[in-house]
Chain A
């Protein structure tokens, strides 16, 4: 605590704050130019100078620490003269092209000149001989407008960790350039544009098409990944022109390429505008009236003939919580069956089950912000840059500024390798064995938390008994990690005061994901990193509202809020005023079997695109062909929707109200910025329309109605009001109170240890490569492949291959190859990538036209393939 006087005002501030921060807190304005709150102070522009009693010269307030008893003056005639001088020098070579400048209206130079009352400069204007504007994607740099304040360079280095920009040259030649001088190739987060005080760094997509003051800013949540960053849609004339941010948010105003540039899928020409009905084999536009009645009549007909169990539904993580809730209610109350499921079946549900059994939670135990204070972070099977970039920045900051020891275990190189104390290049899908190996070392070296294990957990001895039977040799062979590295990794996690474990798609999507998540949870329990701050376990999955999708009970086994029908039946029957089905309901694999044997006759899909998103898409494609009646509601005509009999056009995140839940269980509110295009409607209201046409209305008139009902039925939503969700939303954890039954009266329980053999393919001579599927760096799910901005960066899915294998096969970047397994084949251009180990190829699943999932057998994300060059 420091007490100082600024301009005759008593100001108290926390120890270590700068004078500028203290003044800002007290509402005293000090002009700044190179200062940017997200980065360390540069103290180069001299704009923020103040006079301090006892100092014989002015001091820069941005980096002078406030000390108890200081007397500071921020505005004296002498300071004004100096600031004016600084501003005039900047204006001497800054072209006054404000009317055509992309920053016009929101430029710090413009605003400061005006606010300081400068009406011209007596220094003769000498515009810089500027270099030609380099031809970069999405971002443009104009040297003549640049004041080399380094805000862009520092934000790129300190916040994003991409370090793509540098300052080149001195004096009049000084300019921002890429590290190698070539065209910019970076994460394309656009933070440099946001940081730029002038128009030097500008957003190519936005330039000159709207002026800043014409834009209405609508605060909302980015739906593309599960980090749920807050952002502002800038709207004019019913169009989103760009995305900006507010620094006063949980993501500190930082966005990735998806949030900043990926929004334009909402304006794609491919958006569905009217309902469609299939007639004579073709989908034809019809009215809502006709479409809803057609759908309702067919559904009623099928239900009356074959019973409600013959109708199945698939929802998706694209939907809001309200949409998901309405979807499962539609099935449980209108159709009368529990046949609702989603892609979470192959991903997040496995993890939830594992974590529920061991830790009694349904997702991440701690918040993303707590990662900063950890002593060690184990990052398994995820490259945050590809899945949830916001998480990556937190890990990088934890490693750099807070000295957290990061261990990266992945079968490919990742964006975090540079920041890691230890990199473990494990064999594909050996994450589970890695966790076991670390546990063995931790037990051997007595690094485990005896007090925690004895006091708060159960089933330790049975687990240890099983673990002792697993030979270390087998673990080393399976993971391909050296014993030395394994021991180091175990020591780092075992010795850390607090350690967090983060795991992602590579773990969650594999067939043995449940076991693997349990083993990682065992590791967290063994080291006592559970149930306390700055530690814990974080399952990360890319898909936007995957947590909300599960919370809302879009699965056969649970009602909303993970409630068993046996216990919550009365509650739901009284709120819904209808009976609940007693049948068990079908999961996705059971639906596929049902479609194949004719038991399932109709399929209703909301936002789901199984042909792109589900493993073993090939089998699904032939199964869906046998369905008598398929309804799809989506924003695009996805490959699956193309097979539907009725298609309803849905509203995108920018066009509807609703809430989303992010990976740390933060419930946040979407605010509509636009009218839906054409006749598109929010998903919940489409379901309500169909329900009404079937004669069983659900009683929803607005999204708020759905939310209100959620607060009545879901325990962890109880008492929540929509206005509580303004700003950063609310954290609401679905803790389960079934501890007594599942975990013998203790809060935590060790799970039994099991090892699995590596999935080997008998045809490995014919199919010599192991293909891993994952997510492309610039795309999020398949929705973003409709974004023209992101397609500019990656137009097509590429097959990544190691340099050794490319050499051996004589392949170079851009060569077309056909990739085939026993399940199917696709063709794609090759990209030679040093992050891929020999013998492995990597295919992104984001691209519907590529369909990498078609090659996979049931439930796996790895398979053996062969490559043939296409001529």
Chain B
């Protein structure tokens, strides 16, 4: 059962057309597949490699180099918590403690219902409004425990 749908392949092809060589599209290709499937399993890695005419080993080398290409399953929503100096000063630790209390997950863990995964990220560039997190490309700043709970609640409604 192939994992890459025709729609995904079209997206990949568009990315390849923009690139100088087929291989050059590999990072974007994995991001596209990850957007559709949530993570890059061994099976999908194999299919992407075939599509890009690379060896699985080559693509694996790229995949494991980047932190935000997930080679293990992650939750539906990945909470990227900014892991840089300003956020450390402005309540990064207490925010993490709050997340551990309310969602029951620490860095690298996923909630039992499979909705949320917490991962660290290097500076989100919102130092003036620390602490910051990012979910699905959406930046949330000046976080307090209450504000965080609201954000999580809205995602729960959406899910």
Contact = CB atoms under 8 A, between A and B. Distances in A.
Interface of A: 161, 399-400, 406, 417-422
A406 B54 CA distance: 10
Contacts of B97: none
A421 B57 contact: no
Contacts of A419: 55-57
Contacts of A422: 50
Give the interface size class of chain B: under 10
Contact of A417 (B53, B54, B56): B56
B42 to A, nearest CB: 10
Interface string B38-54: 00000000000010011
B49 to A, nearest CB: 8
Contacts of A420: 55-56
B54 A400 contact: no
Interface in B23-37: none
B11 interface: no
Contacts of B50: 422
Nearest to B42: A418
A461 B54 CA distance: 36
Given A400-B57, A419-B55, A420-B56, 18 more contacts: A161-B57, A399-B55, A399-B57, A400-B55, A400-B58, A406-B55, A417-B56, A418-B55, A418-B56, A418-B57, A418-B60, A419-B56, A419-B57, A420-B55, A421-B53, A421-B54, A421-B55, A422-B50
Contacts of B55: 399-400, 406, 418-421
From A161, A418, A420, A422, name the one whose CB has the most chain B CB atoms within 10 angstroms: A418
Contacts of B60: 418
A417 B46 CA distance: 10
Interface of B: 50, 53-58, 60
Contacts of A161: 57
Contacts, number: 21
19 contacts: A161-B57, A399-B55, A399-B57, A400-B55, A400-B57, A400-B58, A406-B55, A417-B56, A418-B55, A418-B56, A418-B57, A418-B60, A419-B55, A419-B56, A420-B55, A420-B56, A421-B54, A421-B55, A422-B50
Contacts of B56: 417-420
A422 B53 CA distance: 8
B45 to A, nearest CB: 10
A236 B58 CA distance: 45
From B53, B56, B57, B58, name the one whose CB has the most chain A CB atoms within 10 angstroms: B57
Nearest to A417: B56
A747 B46 CA distance: 42
Nearest to A399: B55
A418 B50 CA distance: 11
B2 to A, nearest CB: 12
A399 B55 CA distance: 8
A768 to B, nearest CB: 24
Contacts of B57: 161, 399-400, 418-419
B89 to A, nearest CB: 22
A400 B56 CA distance: 11
A380 B55 CA distance: 17
From B53, B55, B60, name the one whose CB has the most chain A CB atoms within 10 angstroms: B55
B51 to A, nearest CB: 12
B54 to A, nearest CB: 7
Contacts of B53: 421
B52 to A, nearest CB: 10
B17 to A, nearest CB: 20
Contacts of A421: 53-55
B144 to A, nearest CB: 31
Contacts of A417: 56
A483 to B, nearest CB: 15
Contacts of B58: 400
A757 B46 CA distance: 32
A392 to B, nearest CB: 13
B40 to A, nearest CB: 15
A406 B53 CA distance: 11
A417 B45 CA distance: 13
Nearest to A161: B57
A861 to B, nearest CB: 29
A406 B56 CA distance: 11
From A161, A406, A421, A422, name the one whose CB has the most chain B CB atoms within 10 angstroms: A421
Contacts of B54: 421
Nearest to B58: A400
B3 to A, nearest CB: 16
A824 B150 CA distance: 71
A418 B56 CA distance: 5
A419 B46 CA distance: 11
A749 to B, nearest CB: 35
A399 B58 CA distance: 9
A418 B61 CA distance: 11
B138 to A, nearest CB: 31
Contacts of A406: 55
A422 B54 CA distance: 9
Nearest to B59: A418
A419 B53 CA distance: 12
A420 B57 CA distance: 8
A421 B57 CA distance: 9
A420 B46 CA distance: 10
List the 6 shortest-distance A-B pairs measured between CB atoms, nearest first: A418-B57, A419-B57, A418-B56, A419-B55, A421-B55, A399-B55
A581 B56 CA distance: 58
A542 B55 CA distance: 27
B87 to A, nearest CB: 20
B63 to A, nearest CB: 13
A417 B55 CA distance: 8
B64 to A, nearest CB: 10
A399 B56 CA distance: 11
A400 B55 CA distance: 9
B77 to A, nearest CB: 26
A766 B49 CA distance: 41
B116 to A, nearest CB: 24
B83 to A, nearest CB: 14
A422 B51 CA distance: 10
Contacts of A418: 55-57, 60
A366 to B, nearest CB: 23
Nearest to A396: B57
B99 to A, nearest CB: 23
A504 to B, nearest CB: 20
A238 to B, nearest CB: 45
A379 to B, nearest CB: 13
A255 to B, nearest CB: 23
A163 to B, nearest CB: 9
A418 B57 CA distance: 5
B11 to A, nearest CB: 20
A65 B58 CA distance: 26
A399 B59 CA distance: 13
B73 to A, nearest CB: 15
A374 to B, nearest CB: 15
B31 to A, nearest CB: 22
A782 B60 CA distance: 37
A491 B144 CA distance: 60
A399 B57 CA distance: 9
A230 B2 CA distance: 45
Nearest to B53: A421
A182 to B, nearest CB: 16
Nearest to B61: A400
A552 B50 CA distance: 46
Nearest to A406: B55
A417 B49 CA distance: 12
B67 to A, nearest CB: 15
Contacts of A399: 55, 57
A462 B72 CA distance: 55
A160 to B, nearest CB: 13
Nearest to B49: A421
A399 B54 CA distance: 10
B57 to A, nearest CB: 5
Nearest to A485: B50
